[in-house]
Structure 1
Amino acid sequence: MPPAMTDLLDIWAAHSHLAGHALDKITVDFLLPTGIYIQMDVPREATIQHIKLLLWKQAQSFPLFPSLGEMESHMFECVNQAAVHEELEDETRRLCDIRPFLPVLKLVTRNCGRAERLLDSKIGVLISKGLHELDAINDQEVKDFRSKMFRLSEERMQQVQMMTCTEWLQACFSPQLEPPAGTAITDGLNDRPADLKIIIHFDQFPSPRSSCAQYIRTCMQAKESPRLTLVHTSTVKAMFDKEISTIGAVVGRKSSNPPLPLPPKRRQVQTCVWDVSSSFKIVLVNGSKVNAEETAKVQVRAGLFHGTELLCKPAVSSESSGRSDHTWKDSTLEFDLSVCDLPRMTRLCFAIYAVMDKVKKQKSTKNHYPIAWVNTMVFDYKGQLKTGDIILHCWSSFPDELEEMLNPIGTIQTNPYTENATSLHINFPEYSSHSIVFPPFDKGRGGKKFHIELKEIMERDPLSQLCENEKDLIWTLRYDCRENFPQSLPKLLLSVKWSKHEDMAQLQALLQIWPKLSPRDALELLDFNYPDQYVREYAVGCLRDMSEEELSQYLLQLVQVLRYEPYYDCALTHFLLERAQGNRKIGHFLFWHLRSEIHMPAVSVQFALILEAYCRGSIPHIEVLKKQVEALSKLKSVNELIKLGTIKTARSKTKEAMLTKEAMMTYDSDSNFQRCRYMDSKMKPLWIVYNNKLLGGDTLGIIFKNGDDLRQDMLTLQILRLMDLLWKEANLDLRIVPYGCLATGDRSGLIEVVSSADTIANIQLTSSNVAAAAAFNKDALLNWLKERNSGDALERAIEEFTLSCAGYCVATYVLGIGDRHSDNIMVRSTGQLFHIDFGHILGNFKSKFGIKRERVPFILTHDFIHVIQQGKTGYTEKFGSFRQYCEEAYLVLRKNGNLFITLFALMLTAGLPELTSVKDIQYLKDSLALGKTDEDALKQFRQKFDEALRESWTTKVNWMAHNVAKDNRS
């Protein structure tokens, strides 16, 4: 029997002096899963991780190396001293400590252990897509992304394991503004109590206790607002121990030493794309399942795009006859653009369409009918020009207003429903015997003299078009733009000739020295118009200055912008994951924004991959999210039973029927299900009331909707929240009530119930016996407030009403919010007026028989004015103050007009019914009078204000009709 390896080590060490130097290496045989055998010397004191790195470098020169994949997806096995196979999972161990029986290490693919299988199962349930589906995707980009995210998530969990209790508390439960006890969530956004409430149980806190107390003091000092409430209903220590043990069950404690760097990529002979002067071309192999009429001729149109810019004239195939399968005689499509001038983010967009001869008025005209479209990138995720055959499964739904039937803003993912989808088989030819890659940064050149006319161009809004002369001027003066108008970077990018690689190189170099933009300005650079990788990395770098609150404000758009990212592994994805895994509030909303749209085929894989990465890097959060997912699933089941008529109990018995579901409703130990009923509207939404311990025992109402798309409401409420923030920054608090709203799935979600509030319709109807007359009772609203407030409280309530009415008048006008009847305007007992239900925005007002039902720019009725003036007639000083509030609020929004346009533009591909094209956003430009002076804009707003007053009687008529219809239904 050969001597054990430890004996060999002793012998070699004992005789090392004979060689004249210390023997610190051992010859080890490595067996690779590719069938390759490698023998090399490794340091006896090296860790397994370091040995693997050495092996990887050596293996690069051997055949079949690329088939190994990622280094982190492999581990070593050996035969130990007990003659048993041992998996060397802990790679921080040293070779001299492992003591294998023979100096032989076998490299194997990592197997998922029981804890990992359990984790995978939980993640699959959470993201509503089994991980086996991701495992089955035969796409190297998906595999590489998952492998990288797995490694980063594991490192993140190891870091959490090494945290002290105080560090963990800071990371997971950073101080945030919370409402005082006894009020609903919405109250906390506006009420400013002077007291500070802190509830923490210190009885089991680890010694020294002062560490947590110091943390609390730091939190209090860091928050100038007196509204800070830090509430924990269980001991911090218990929570900390539980979460660390949860991580340890899957990851296990690792060494705190930083991981070794990944091995360098294998050097290959490559050709720079800028050295290839041939014209770009592709070959149409065939098309199948085209679904064209027998008499039609089928053609393919192909265009190269950078963002929405068409880089050259589209190429068009010859015509092909047939109904389903097609080949084209002239199968090669050549473009008037050299390979060297292809931008890194070039999209190749296809449209398949039918050409039919149609006789009309004895004149023959050709008509084109779109059949399908599909997009793909010209460079792959590694920056390599694509070569070889590829089959693209097409999409059949065409958006409006397409340029030559091409859809560059559409997804680059192919249709996952391949069975019935039109497919296009194409070939990317080879231009070189070596792979062709896009080069890294080049160095830029200097700018020229500044011209004063540049200022006017740079101050235009994002929707303004630039003519070619203006683009040339901006590009010529690019260094002056950097010095004097750094926020004008988007206009400079629109002036780059992306079809000239020299300009691209200079732009990339210029980005290296461009001043950092504010996060609000940088958001525009994530629009579809700016697809360049380095531009987007620069933008994400600017976003890193965002506070947690600011990131929460714009998270909705940042998730939608992921649709514009052609590759899974990108700067924006890393940024969102880092911030979400570092702050559980961000993580919570990132999870739900992604999960609510995972059913959409165009983003299903991308969002699933990000959700999987988030869960792996936030293992303790999984249990909380799992309870939420389970609760929502059961609420949906109850709702569907109600819709089917299965629950036929009378209203008085509904609560009893719902209480049988209590066990499945309570998903939080701090919230107890109290009561539930369903509402009369078509989708039978559930009205649920919880007794929330975190709010001092107060109740919290939530509406669960199943069958309605809440994303447009969510967007509108987000913009209202932003308006409120901007006004407060300008020292103008208009008492806005942006209640909570969250889409959680396909046409389902939750809406927060604002406490102590009623609709204008109910207030009017309770004051009159006749529904038709209720809308014309101008005293009803004021009397309702008087019943609930007296003395100084009434004065405050009327002031609250005045401020909030001004805010919503301006907000609904600017956003073009329609369908404003008396059931979707509410008033709180404290006086705050607020709007709900935002199914119509951006000027999409409802009409009947072709006549607009809403003829006023915003709702300002005489009963509102009656409250503002405290019942006095004639326009008083109070009304003058109200009008002044409106004008100040309008001017503040105008100053931030570009931000609003950007936020709506970033939502264009979300699929919202009333936000589908740039034309929809044009409404904002008009309502904010962008491009005009403040004086002219204010003049326009005053005209709208007078119009709202003058035509308010039409609102009353509409409200009367609404009240009568509602009365008849009941």
Structure 2
Amino acid sequence: MEGHMFECVNQAAVHEELEDETRRLCDVRPFCPMLKLVTRNCGRAERLLDSKIGVLIGKGLHELDALQDQEVKDFRSKMFRISEEKMQRVQLMTWSEWLQACFSPQLEPGGGATPVTDGVNDKQAEASLKVWPSTSPSELMEQALRKWLTTHGPEEEGRQAEQYVLRVSDKLEFLCGDHPLIQYKVQVRAGLFHGTELLCKPAVSSESSGRSEHVWNRTLEFDITVSDLPRMARLCFAVYAVMDKVKKQKSTKNAHINKYQTILIFLCPPDELEEMLNPIGTIQTNPYTENSTALHIHLPDYNPHPILFPPFDKVRTRGKKFHIELKEIMERDPLSQLCENEKDLIWTLRYDCMENFPQSLPKLLLSVKWSKHEDMAQLQALLQIWPKLSPRDALELLDFNYPDQYVREYAVGCLRDMSDEELSQYLLQLVQVLRYEPYYDCALTRFLLNRAQCNRNIGHFLFWHLRSEMHMPAVSVQFSLILEAYSRGSIPHIEVLKKQVEALSKLKSVNELIKLGTIKNARSKTKEAMLTKEAMMTCLRQSGYTETLSDLHSPLNPSVLLSGINVEKCRYMDSKMKPLWIVYNNKLLGGDTLGIIFKNGDDLRQDMLTLQILRLMDLLWKEANLDLRIVPYGCLATGDRSGLIEVVSSADTIANIQLTSSNVAAAAAFNKDALLNWLKEKNSGDALEKAIEEFTLSCAGYCVATYVLGIGDRHSDNIMVRSTGQLFHIDFGHILGNFKSKFGIKRERVPFILTHDFIHVIQQGKTGNTEKFGSFRNYCEQAYLILRRNGNLFITLFALMLTAGLPELTSVKDIQYLKDSLALGKTDDEALKQFRQKFDEALRESWTTKVNWMAHNVVKDNRS
């Protein structure tokens, strides 16, 4: 046993080492029923830990071992050393010190991450690069210029930086294999970017019309010197066919893109060529290179001519005196564009910006001429003395527009002032912006690992945010490295997380069983429901399932222990993906049950983002002494189109409340007394008055929130009410004004849902109770103005999610909806006037909502 172990090839076609003998044989899922006896290569304890980490993160560590990438090796070696030191410190702690470190609800921020080392990464640029296109249709072939500047320290006294024109030279060839596009002439376009800013005019190759391959054998020259290249410049390529006018008219761009999206050959008209050079795409290599088309390029060797920056103390010059125009520019929202004159003014008055508008740093960075060596040196010197920003303001600096490593290190330095609660609030965005980091070992990665290993609650959600995207090739290696580093530094947490991973795997098996059963019995709905539910319960009662699904910490909230399943109350929901409704008994909740919904086949990330923003709105309102009784229930994506949703107890949908009060589905939506009567049934005396107040406050909060976020598809099954009176919305598949339409006509014509039965409850059933309605309207206006004051924060948080691949958040244009709904750029009086018009519109057009709800109730009644 000390010298040997079993391994298998698992369902994911990955070698899995069965190091942990405590695992049940039924939990081992090999592709074929064979186990192989192999010799252990190192210490048993170390192999056991490696095996556990591999199972936990969903990627065998031997895959990382096999990567011939020095950066990966350096990162793992460094993290292994740091984690070992961390665990040695943990072993020396007393029990109380350990509890304080892992579970303190208000832990003070630690001393920060490992100090950042100046200088460049050790990864060396290759003289010849092979650029494989990404498999995603939204990402174009591109490669970071990772080590063009061989040194990045102070310039030697009296020495001038060498000037060389940047060239991509010698040989440029495109191997397209046996492909229908060979009948067209092919060109290559290359562009240099810093963030989203094009540094100079793109270079274009000549046309080539080869058959199985295209070879240009020419140099692409850019109008910029190597010494003026910012260190985080990206060189992006696009390969496209060139057709004559006749052929262009016969084909459409979309048809060709869809047909050839795996190799990313775009057939675009000339005015769209610039959009092809997408600098936001990943810099990771396409892992599926066997059948991919490749672009070969060669870069000249600049190593004999190092580029050196001047020392900071030689570039600190004072700007001109403060100009009154600066104030107006600095108060604009993050989406506002700066013209060249405004950029010049900001850059000229950069020291006045630092002294009077330190929060304006993002606008200063957008004003830097990143194609000028001297301006870059000036900016980096200025960062050394720039006042620290608040963490909320510093978040914007982690956007893709600010790739400079000194800027990002400065931003992370500001984030260290965050409390653990505030860090948890923004963790979703901080994980997403890891995609923008050009190196695995960066300030943001070290910061997140340090804080996660100091607080288990942060570690829990960092783990799930990373693991839920492990199936994405663009981030698979990067996220697996961070997960491995976290696991090695938090060994006691491994078993807790591993049990959650195994439980989710069991729930997925149950869901697949139900889907299979519903397909087989599709002809008989009654028979289908009976047989499938019976099969589900039989499955859940099996000892392998019972043991795995019991006594685990909830992925939705690690402070909640899910003790044992109440199988009799479990069911599956009658929607396309057959979500599981799992009910747990909980000793710690005084015998109350606790419900979770497991979804397999639906992307929950947009719901997760919307609920995070609702949670933030609730926090901002409470900071302003306005509690609107928001119910931001738990929602967590745990894998590829799978995740969990918290069941809110003692709540029902508006649709069910209306349908139970009427024998006719069509009339139910127009029964204005149904909701008030339901609350009266649930509450009596003073409790009813309290419930109506809860309804009034929560209704105000959700009216404002759904208007600001542009939440659509608001039918009566997507709005719920708790028996205590709190109203809340669920299911956020349509946001940012993407309202449903039918036959080209928008089904939702109101800015937010405010029906007469809601007003009937708010007015306590008394038509003339204008005082209560006036209070409700005042709550809405207060809430709206508070959100307006924090408009920049909302824009920043949505902007940081742009690369997440959410269906309704793909470009800056989508975020424009927030700017309009919050009336940013207008005065408070102007904005309030706009909101009051929307409020009156919601009241005036509420009859259209009732008609939609009636149609929804009729369809629902027919289905049942």
* 1:356 corresponding residue in structure 2: 243
**CA displacement at 1:368 relative to structure 2:** 13
Structure 2: how far apart are the matches of 1:260 and 1:601? 30
The amino acid of 1:320's aligned partner reads S
Letter in 2 for 1:816: G
Q: Give yes or no for the alignment of 1:296 onto 2:180.
A: no
- Counterparts in 2 of 1:159 and 1:438: CA distance versus 1, 3 Å: farther
Aligned counterpart, 1:663: 547
With normalisation by structure 2, the TM-score equals 0.84
> For residues 651 and 325 of structure 1, what CA distance do their matches in structure 2 show?
55
Give the AA of the match of 2:413. Answer: G
Residues 581-629 of structure 1, C-alpha deviation per residue, up to 9 Å, x if partnerless? 0000000000000000010011111111111111011111000011000
Tell whether 2:197 aligns with 1:309. yes
Equivalent position SS for 2:274: coil
- Structure 1 segment 460-479 matched on structure 2, within 5 A: 460-479=332-351
Amino acid at match of 1:955: T
What does the per-residue CA deviation read over 1:161-195, in whole Å, with 9 as the maximum and x for residues that have no partner?
Answer: 1112221010111137xxxxxxxxxxxxxxxxxxx
CA distance in 2, matches of 1:774, 1:946: 25
Find out whether 1:277 has 2:163 as its counterpart: yes
Corresponding residue for 1:412?
Answer: 283
Partners of 2:83 and 2:489 within 8 A in 1:
yes
SS in 2 for 1:687: strand
Q: Contact 2:383–2:407 at 8 Å: present in 1 too? A: yes
Contact 1:349–1:406 at 8 Å: present in 2 too?
Answer: yes
**Large movers: runs of 4+ above 4 Å:** 259-262, 264-274, 360-374, 393-402, 434-443, 646-649
1:701 is matched with: 595
The alignment partner of 2:239 has SS state of: strand
Q: Is the 8 A contact 2:167 2:222 kept in 1?
A: yes
Q: Describe how 1:234-273 pairs up with structure 2 within 5 A.
A: none
Deviation for aligned residue 1:463:
0.2
Contact 1:447 1:479 in 2 (8 A): yes
Residue 827 of structure 1: aligned partner: 721
Looking at structure 1, the residues matched to 250 and 735 of structure 2 have their Cα atoms a distance apart, in angstroms, of 43
Q: Where do 1:315-714 residues align within 5 Å?
A: 315-329=203-217, 331-359=218-246, 403-433=274-304, 443-645=315-517, 649-650=530-531, 653=534, 654-660=536-542, 661-668=545-552, 670=561, 671-675=563-567, 676-714=570-608
Q: 8 Å contact 1:357–1:367 — kept in the other structure?
A: no
What is the CA–CA distance in structure 2 between the aligned matches of 1:797 and 1:129, rounded to whole Å? 50
Alignment of structure 1 residues 178-197 onto 2, 5 Å:
none
Q: CA separation in 2, counterparts of 1:782 and 1:402? A: 59
Match of 1:735 in 2: 629
2:654–2:717 CA contact under 8 A, matched in 1: yes
| 1:469 partner amino acid | N
User: Which sits farther off after the overlay, 870-879 or 823-832?
Assistant: 870-879
> CA offsets per residue over residues 847-894 of structure 1, 9 Å max, x none?
001100000000000000000000011451000000000000000000
The Cα shift of 1:405 comes to 1.1
1:944-967 Cα distance to aligned partner (Å, 9 max, x none):
000000000000000000000000
How many angstroms does 1:723 deviate by?
0.2
1:422 Cα offset (Å): 1.8
For residues 776 and 469 of structure 1, do their structure 2 counterparts lie closer, same or farther at Cα, with a shift above 3 Å needed?
same
Whole-angstrom distance in 2 between the partners of 1:922 and 1:151: 46
Bigger mean CA deviation after superposition, 752-761 or 156-165: 156-165
Q: Which runs of 5+ in 1 are unaligned?
A: 1-109, 177-218, 223-258, 375-392
Q: Which residue of 1 aligns with 2:140?
A: none
Distance change >3 Å, CA 619–CA 362, structure 1 → 2: closer
Please state how far the C-alpha of 1:441 moved relative to its aligned partner. Answer: 5.4
Which of 756, 763, 778 pairs up with 1:884?
A: 778
SS at match of 1:563: helix
Q: What amino acid maps onto 2:286 in structure 1?
A: N
- Cα RMSD for the two superposed structures: 3.0
SS for the counterpart of 1:763 is: helix
- Kept after mapping to 2: 8 A contact 1:153/1:616: yes
Aligned mates of 1:323, 1:590 — CA distance in 2: 49
Matched residue, 1:813: 707
Whether the 8 Å CA contact 1:276–1:431 is kept in 2: the answer is no
C-alpha displacement of 1:288: 1.4
Give 1:123's aligned residue: 53
Greater Cα offset, 955-964 or 686-695: 686-695
- Provide the secondary structure at the position in 1 that maps to 2:370: coil
Mapped to 2, the partners of 1:261 and 1:333 lie a distance apart of: 36
* 1:125-181 alpha-carbon deviations (Å, 9 max, x no partner): 1111111111111111111111111111111111111112221010111137xxxxx
Shift of 1:260: 15
**1:655 positional shift:** 3.6
Which segment drifts farther, 938-947 or 869-878? Answer: 869-878
Match of 2:37 in 1: none
How far apart are the structure 2 equivalents of 1:373 and 1:280?
32
Aligned 8 A contact 1:300 1:317 in 2: yes
Equivalent position SS for 2:167: strand
Is the CA contact (8 Å cut-off) linking 1:124 and 1:130 kept in structure 2? yes
Given candidates 70, 75, 96, the residue that maps to 1:140 is: 70
SS at 1:426 equivalent: strand
Q: Compared with structure 1, are the counterparts of its residues 445 and 111 closer, same or farther at alpha carbon in structure 2 (3 Å cutoff)? A: farther
Instruction: Quickly say closer, same or farther: Cα 1:879–1:776, change in 2 above 3 A.
Output: same
Q: Does 1:850 align with 2:744?
A: yes
> Max radius of gyration: which structure?
1
Structure 1 residues 921 and 395: CA distance shift in structure 2, 3 A: same
C-alpha distance in structure 1 between counterparts of 2:342 and 2:273, whole Å = 26
Give % identity. 83
1:433 CA drift (Å): 2.7
Distance 2:211 2:330 in 1: 52
Equivalent residues of 1:292, 1:354 under 8 A apart: no
Contact 2:638 2:644 in 1 (8 A): yes
Residue deviations 1:216-271 (CA, integer Å, cap 9, x gap): xxx9xx9xxxxxxxxxxxxxxxxxxxxxxxxxxxxxxxxxxxx9999x99999966
2:166–2:225 Cα contact (<8 Å) kept = yes
Over 3 Å counting, the alpha-carbon distance change for 1:447 and 1:652 in structure 2 is: closer
Instruction: Specify the SS of the correspondent of 2:596.
Output: strand
Any gaps of 5 or more consecutive residues in structure 2?
Answer: 1-39, 109-113, 125-148, 521-527, 554-560
In structure 2, how many angstroms separate the alpha carbons of the residues matched to 1:657 and 1:529? 51
> Residue 304 of structure 1 aligns to a residue in which SS?
strand
CA–CA distance in structure 2, aligned partners of residues 458 and 751 of structure 1? 41
Aligned to 1:275, the other structure's residue is in SS state coil
Query: Alpha carbons of 1:644 and 1:434: their partners in 2 closer, same or farther (altered >3 Å)?
Result: same
Distance 2:722 2:714 in 1: 18
Using the alignment, how far apart are the partners of 2:253 and 2:96 within structure 1? 73
Q: Which residue of 1 aligns with 2:669?
A: 775
Preserved CA contact (<8 Å) 1:774 1:960: yes
TM-score, normalisation: structure 1: 0.75
Please identify, of 596-605 and 648-657, the stretch whose mean Cα deviation from structure 2 is larger.
648-657
**1:931 — aligned with what?**
825
